[in-house]
A and B are shown apart, each in its own frame.
Chain A
Amino acid sequence: MADELMVEIVTPERMVFTGKVEEITVPGSEGEFGVLKGHAALLSGVDIGALSFTQEGKKRNFAVADGYVEVTATKVTVLVESAERSDMIDKERAQRAKQLAEEKMGKLAKEDPEYDKAKASLDKALIRLNVADKN
């Protein structure tokens, strides 16, 4: 297909995905955005969120956290500190992480820097649960 876009999802642990897709949606730091082939060159931060793309008509979902995305007309490179495919997510672990983070947040004052950290891990856990359910 002519309208295919090369996508690479890279984490420090491994290359999570390389391949051609029709369309990709990325959780940018300014909000979610979609990319098709021929997109203008763009560099954007990536936040904790759900990333998805369609490959051969099938939709695939990933939970990603923190990094950036580099878009050129034919290629999208996503560099994130973690990325998990929806069917690889351990729901129990995510549930536990969610509980732990909620407990922590209950104990801490909002001004505490630890509070933000707990909030970030809660967000991560929620996104992972959310993405896992899309499967």
Chain B
Amino acid sequence: MAALKDIKRKISAVQKTRQITKAMNMVAASKFKSAQMRMENFRPYAIKFMDVMSSLALRVDASSHPLLAVRPAKRIRVICMTSDRGLCGGFNTNLIKTTEKFIAAKKQDGAEVTLVSVGRKGRDFFRKKEKLVSEWVDQLNRFTMNLGVQIGDAIIPPFLAEEYDELYLIYNEFRNVSIQRPSVVRLFPLPTIGQQEEVEPEKRLDYIYEPSEEYLLDKMLRMYVHVLLYRALLETNAGENGARMAAMDNATKNCEELITSLSLKYNKARQAAITAELMDIVGGTEALSKS
């Protein structure tokens, strides 16, 4: 009888787990939806911005701007953008692995590497291992463009002051709900933008620039950094919830499988117990009738 009770207890435990994973899946799904919507809403801004940016880059020589200055890469800074919470499959693990590999490769080339961490998971992992310069933790749950601006304000001045020579952003690129790929993007020096594209003559307007072309270029390049960071944040947010949805879906399925096999075991054990009891009774009556 003891075995029977044990199995029953196990079944109810797994059922409870399934309930939790199912709920988490649903929460992640609704968060994912809103994250996707925000990405959708950001698109017009990004497209318009890139339009103007490239038309400005065509007219103004951007290569002399300090944000585009190429220096020998002796000191490298890396932004590692993870999520704040776990239980989302390999989302953070893959990203951290990529970051580790990247840092190791750069160190082998003799560069000094410092780290900026966005997201709790990355911070916790690298806190003792690497030199953390700054961190943003517990911000991803609710963030606006302002977070991109904040991060931008923290990384731009040290680059201009030549405290570091190159900046890389490592984040999970969002492909679709089930696919996120860690990707490494060089932020500083900024790659030249839009200069290789030909713009149709009627689209090429001669603007009046106010106050000046240089001022606007500087402003737009800073905004460009904010745009890139914000987009990475949005993709991380969507990717995290997408990954969690998939992970929780899997967990729910596994629970169901476990419940089926445990129920089977339980029924078998119960049947065995009944049979054994019957045998006892039959044996007992036989023994009585013989005497």
Please determine whether B145 and A12 come into contact, CB atoms closer than 8 angstroms.
yes
How many B residues face the partner with a CB closer than 8 A? 30
Q: Contact partner of A45 among B44, B208, B210, B227, CB < 8 A?
A: B210
Q: A-facing mask of B201-230, CB < 8 A → 1, else 0?
A: 000011111110001100110010011001
Q: How far is the CA of A49 from the CA of B123 in the complex (A)?
A: 37
B246 part of interface (Cβ distance < 8 Å): no
* B206 & A14 in contact (Cβ 8 Å cutoff): no
Given the interface pairs A13-B144, A79-B45, the reply to whether A42 lies near B216 with Cβ below 8 Å is no
Given contacts A28-B210, A81-B149, contact A68 B52 (CB under 8 A): yes
CB <8 Å contact, B207 and A41: yes
Would B210 and A43 count as touching, CB distance under 8 A? yes
Q: Are A43 and B216 in touch, CB under 8 angstroms?
A: yes
Chain A 40-58 interface mask (CB, 8 Å, partner B; 1/0): 1111110000000000000
A41 to B49, CA, bound (A): 17
- Is B41 in the interface zone, CB < 8 Å from A? yes
Q: Which residues of B contact A68 (CB under 8 A)?
A: 52, 216, 219-220, 223
Q: Which residue of B lies closest to A113 (CB)?
A: B157
Nearest-Cβ distance from residue B274 to partner chain A, whole angstroms:
65
- Does any Cβ of B come within 8 Å of A130's Cβ? no
- How many residue pairs between the two chains, A and B, have CB atoms under 8 Å in the bound complex? 76
**Smallest Cβ-Cβ distance to A45: which chain B residue:** B219
Do A43 and B42 touch (CB < 8 A)?
A: no
* Interface residue A77 (Cβ < 8 Å from any Cβ of B): yes
B211, A42: Cβ atoms closer than 8 Å? no
Q: Chain A, interface size: which category?
A: 20 to 34
Nearest CB in chain B: distance from A11 CB, A: 7
Known contacts A13-B144, A68-B52, A70-B52; is-contact A41 B206 (Cβ 8 Å): yes
Choose among A45, A77, A82 the residue that contacts B48 (Cβ–Cβ < 8 A).
A77
> Are B144 and A45 in contact, CB atoms less than 8 angstroms apart?
no
Residues of B within 8 A of A43 (CB): 52, 56, 207-210, 216
B38 interface residue (CB < 8 Å to A): yes
**Does A108 count as interface, using CB distance less than 8 angstroms?**
no
**Bound complex: CA of A11 vs CA of B230, how far in Å?**
12
Q: Which residue in chain A gives the minimum CB-CB distance to B46? A: A12
A29→B45 contact, CB < 8 A: no
A1-47 CB contacts (< 8 Å) to partner B: 8, 10-15, 28-30, 40-45
- What's the Cα separation between A68 and B45 when bound, in Å? 12
> Are A42 and B210 within 8 A (Cβ)?
yes
- Best-surrounded residue of B41, B44, B49, B153 (most CB of chain A within 10 A): B44
What residues of chain B lie closer than 8 Å to A117, measured between beta carbons? 153
**Contact mask for chain B residues 41-62; partner A; CB cutoff 8 A; 1 contact, 0 none:** 1101100110010001000000
> Can you list 10 residue pairs at the A/B interface with Cβ under 8 Å?
A10-B48, A12-B42, A12-B227, A40-B208, A43-B56, A44-B209, A45-B215, A68-B52, A79-B49, A81-B145
In order of increasing CB-CB distance, the 4 nearest A-B pairs are A44-B210, A12-B145, A43-B207, A41-B205
Given contacts A45-B215, A77-B48, 17 further A-B contacts (CB under 8 A): A13-B42, A13-B145, A29-B219, A30-B210, A40-B208, A43-B56, A43-B208, A44-B210, A45-B210, A45-B216, A45-B219, A68-B219, A68-B220, A68-B223, A79-B45, A81-B149, A82-B144
